Structure 1
């Protein structure tokens, strides 16, 4: 019987390769650590600043622009079409400068109709006055006739009174004469009342027609005002800032046609980071740099709304601006907050923000080594930043960009 021999299978060992890989990784990490701890930097590549201590004027800087304190939006008085644009944005204008002309054929027709209606009414009013005058004179003529008849009747009564007593005139005729005189006197009184009433009625009718004439006149004045408003004038002296319409465009009543900003009274509007704006108060003095002159100002408004991390500060200009100043001119401003007494400060390191804690490389006594130190910073003052803790007067720090070396705890500085 044959005996089958089996060859034993050798088990693979993973221990040696694994140990080799782990060893390689440890060696690599050690090399990297050694390399980083021995980082060398040339002194010429660094900006080094010393901590100083003194009274420091505290100012806050910001950028912004000049804006007009008085602006005028010019709008269309009625539905119209842009017929002509005479002035372009950026042009200096005076109050009477014609910026553009509009047209409205329907408005022209309305003006003509209003003029004709007023003319017809005025003609009718004149005719009414003439007719009333004629009626008044005719009634006065009646009164004159009645007065004449009454006078004759009274004379007759007076003449017959003596004759009746002597029996020459019968008592019946005498009584008839007296009755006629009495009737004429009553008729005269009634006609006088009628004349007074006629005068009052005439005056009332003239008043009503006069009021209607005033309404027609006011309607015509409105139409003429709208028509005159089709010639768009600047209304104020300044600079034409924008004309958001095009030639031939149809516009609605009240639609914006142009913006004119006065260049006589302007303010500076600065944007200040919100963490610095908390130190600003109304009344603080400021210096505005218009690139051609420095002018003084005073903070007169602090916007309560924070927009994109900034607060808008309005500065009233208290000095005459240069002749080239105009709305929207870019400016830089410094607001004077006060004086910091015995303040510790240093040139602001790159990447360090106000009111923060940051690590900064400080030079050791040998001037060849720099190590990281945590420092607490306060307010930014110009190119400097206030030191609240972590440093003493005279110590030196690297204030240039060290972000590429931030993982290292120390640097070796070479000359």
Structure 2
């Protein structure tokens, strides 16, 4: 039996080794070729890092709103009979917005007015009755006073006759007793008169109270009836209308809203992370696209909504021509003053309050650094870490060069 042995072929091993070495050499070349990349200087912009005093502002968005607003509500049950003004129309305090109808209310006013007239007539009749009673009491007092005078005269006459020995002792005592009785009677009658007058005052006061209560009721009903003709109450414009013609409304139901046009405030949405740094009365510059308005913060809420905090600002300077309620505006809100701020002018690709890789120029090289940027204020981007005054920062799209620590510059 013949056994055949396969001949070994060493050339295959050498081919494999050669390919492996070629790959290693190519990888080394590729790595070395990526270690330094060349960039044309003409494609770059450079900014020099500066230092100096800087007012730090934060950007906030919002809208103008009426400083004075008035909700118009239904004074009573009724039905919308007329709508005279539509939203957006300028109004004065006496402008009639709409009219409500309620025949039952008009009837109640008439009934209440009739009852008031009746109560007033009863009070006047009572006053005349009481005056008659007063006159009767005064007549009784006058009669008793006359009787007292008569008793005094008789007593005086009896005393004179007694001195002369003409009148008897009994007649003298009778005259004294009569005078005493009439005097007591007069005193008693005067007390009754004073008590009657006091009682009369209370009774008249009670009737006056009843009349006043009815008069208040009439005034209330009459005001409700008058208010069925709904007026604006303030100067401005009708901002919203919540009802339709022919609709029935309940007492106190919202009908419309009126807001001032000339007296405005700004409602701004402040970034949550900066809201606690903003003081009351902080200056604000509002941009309406047709000019700037100076303002100041008057209120900052504590509730956070979608990463923002609501604030209000009073406008201190003249309004621009397009200023009106609901106008969308942007603003710069003052946060603080930095005496020696380090900053550059804002450029594309630089993000405030972020840490980014940036390239700094050293002669013919660009060296990558980690830079911590702070707030953006009026196109000035504050630098917190990573750059010094005088450094030249290269401004370009460095996305494809992030893996390089250095770049060569080609002039």
Provide the TM-score with structure 1 as the length reference: 0.74
Report the alpha carbon displacement of residue 330 of structure 1 after superposing the two structures with TM.
Answer: 1.8
Q: Distance in 1 between matches of 2:272 and 2:309?
A: 6
Cα 1:377/1:162, change in 2 over 3 Å: closer
Q: Distance in 2 between matches of 1:304 and 1:278?
A: 9
Matches within 5 A, 1:9-408: 49-55=45-51, 57=54, 58-159=56-157, 179-277=177-275, 279-336=277-334, 337-339=336-338, 341=340, 343-345=342-344, 347-350=346-349, 353-358=351-356, 375-383=371-379, 385-389=381-385, 393-399=391-397
The answer (yes or no) to whether the contact 1:51–1:346 under 8 Å persists in 2 is: yes
Report the alpha carbon displacement of residue 123 of structure 1 after superposing the two structures with TM.
Answer: 0.6
Report the alpha carbon displacement of residue 124 of structure 1 after superposing the two structures with TM.
Answer: 0.7
CA RMSD, Structure 1 to Structure 2 (Å): 4.2
Q: Distance in 1 between matches of 2:221 and 2:333?
A: 52
Q: Distance in 1 between matches of 2:284 and 2:250?
A: 44
What secondary structure, in the 3-state scheme, does the structure 2 residue paired with 1:132 have?
helix
What secondary structure, in the 3-state scheme, does the structure 2 residue paired with 1:292 have?
coil
Report the alpha carbon displacement of residue 136 of structure 1 after superposing the two structures with TM.
Answer: 1.9
Cα 1:60/1:144, change in 2 over 3 Å: closer
Report the alpha carbon displacement of residue 307 of structure 1 after superposing the two structures with TM.
Answer: 1.5
Q: Distance in 2 between matches of 1:98 and 1:124?
A: 40
Q: After superposition, what is the alpha-carbon deviation per residue over 1:66-108, rounded to whole angstroms, capped at 9, x for unaligned?
A: 1222222222223332222222222222222222222322322
Q: Distance in 1 between matches of 2:326 and 2:295?
A: 17
Q: Distance in 1 between matches of 2:79 and 2:153?
A: 83
What secondary structure, in the 3-state scheme, does the structure 2 residue paired with 1:107 have?
helix
Cα 1:240/1:251, change in 2 over 3 Å: same
The answer (yes or no) to whether the contact 1:363–1:398 under 8 Å persists in 2 is: no
What secondary structure, in the 3-state scheme, does the structure 2 residue paired with 1:66 have?
strand
Cα 1:305/1:50, change in 2 over 3 Å: farther
Q: Distance in 2 between matches of 1:355 and 1:83?
A: 59
The answer (yes or no) to whether the contact 2:267–2:311 under 8 Å persists in 1 is: yes
What secondary structure, in the 3-state scheme, does the structure 1 residue paired with 2:49 have?
strand
Q: Distance in 2 between matches of 1:377 and 1:308?
A: 24
Report the alpha carbon displacement of residue 194 of structure 1 after superposing the two structures with TM.
Answer: 2.3
What secondary structure, in the 3-state scheme, does the structure 1 residue paired with 2:127 have?
helix
* Structure 2 gap segments, 5+ residues each: 1-26
Q: Which shifted more, 83-92 or 376-385? A: 376-385
The answer (yes or no) to whether the contact 1:240–1:258 under 8 Å persists in 2 is: yes
Cα 1:185/1:316, change in 2 over 3 Å: closer
Cα 1:364/1:138, change in 2 over 3 Å: same
The answer (yes or no) to whether the contact 1:139–1:195 under 8 Å persists in 2 is: yes
The answer (yes or no) to whether the contact 1:360–1:398 under 8 Å persists in 2 is: no
The answer (yes or no) to whether the contact 1:361–1:398 under 8 Å persists in 2 is: no
Cα 1:395/1:165, change in 2 over 3 Å: closer
Report the alpha carbon displacement of residue 215 of structure 1 after superposing the two structures with TM.
Answer: 1.5
Cα 1:77/1:179, change in 2 over 3 Å: same
The answer (yes or no) to whether the contact 1:80–1:251 under 8 Å persists in 2 is: yes
What secondary structure, in the 3-state scheme, does the structure 2 residue paired with 1:326 have?
coil
Q: Number of residue pairs matched?
A: 377
Cα 1:76/1:176, change in 2 over 3 Å: same
Report the alpha carbon displacement of residue 229 of structure 1 after superposing the two structures with TM.
Answer: 2.4
Q: Distance in 1 between matches of 2:387 and 2:290?
A: 40
Q: Which shifted more, 336-345 or 99-108? A: 336-345
* Structure 1 gap segments, 5+ residues each: 1-29
Cα 1:175/1:260, change in 2 over 3 Å: same
Report the alpha carbon displacement of residue 210 of structure 1 after superposing the two structures with TM.
Answer: 1.4
